[in-house]
Amino acid sequence: MTTTFITGANKSLGYETARRLVEAGHTVIVGARDPRRGRAAADALGARFVQIDVTDDASVAAAVADVRAHEGSIDVLVNNAGILGTPNAADQITAADASAVFEVNVVGIVRVTHAFLPLLRESANPVIVNVSSGMGSFAATHDTERVEGRFVAPLYTASKAAVTMLTTQYAKSWPDVKVNAADPGYTATDFNGHSGPQTVTEGTDAIVELATIGTDGPTGTFRDRHGAMAW
């Protein structure tokens, strides 16, 4: 049975990813910062809850120790936790604002991936899915025909571009691990006041697809629910 750990899995895309992977037969570990919400989500899903704050070394180390003690290893890591950051205009953005966004969206992925990599490498088919965004695509954000080209969010877009590049670099570095990035697309979630035209199920199509690849699956790719995304 495939064991999957998902960060930020207590709501929205993370929760729906967890639900679908449980349905697909995975043993799912719901990672969340808030114990009350995380435990409630796990109970509703038929999953197990593990507290994790992706910005805290000690919290991540404790989560790894918990999983090692209970499951022994994992097969799939879904780095889903992320924040939008300040709504301030570009000329009002501070270094502290930037640090807050990158600490969760980028450094958090590095922290969690580094910590869980030994558990992943005990799998016969280790897989990492980093939840990126079309908002981090240079092509999409320069195309005014696309929704990504009509929004300005300097820190979020920059952080997601970093996530996609980090994904491709990890994939090149680790031939034994499949590492891919998923773009959920413009999905109705808390991030956008539920204004997105896609359902959370549609928004998790690429994540679930990449989380369920076999030993002959891709690595170093960036995909949405329709296929390959332009960088």
Catalytic residue ranges:
156, 160
* Cβ–Cβ < 8 Å for 159, 101: yes
Residue type for position 113: T
Q: Are 214 and 205 in contact (CB under 8 A)?
A: no
CA quadruple 216, 222, 227, 231: dihedral positive or negative? negative
> Residue for token digits 């924040």?
83
Sheet-wide strand order for 222-224: 48-51, 27-32, 3-6, 76-79, 127-131, 178-182, 222-224, 227-228
Between strands 27-32 and 48-51, the pairing is parallel
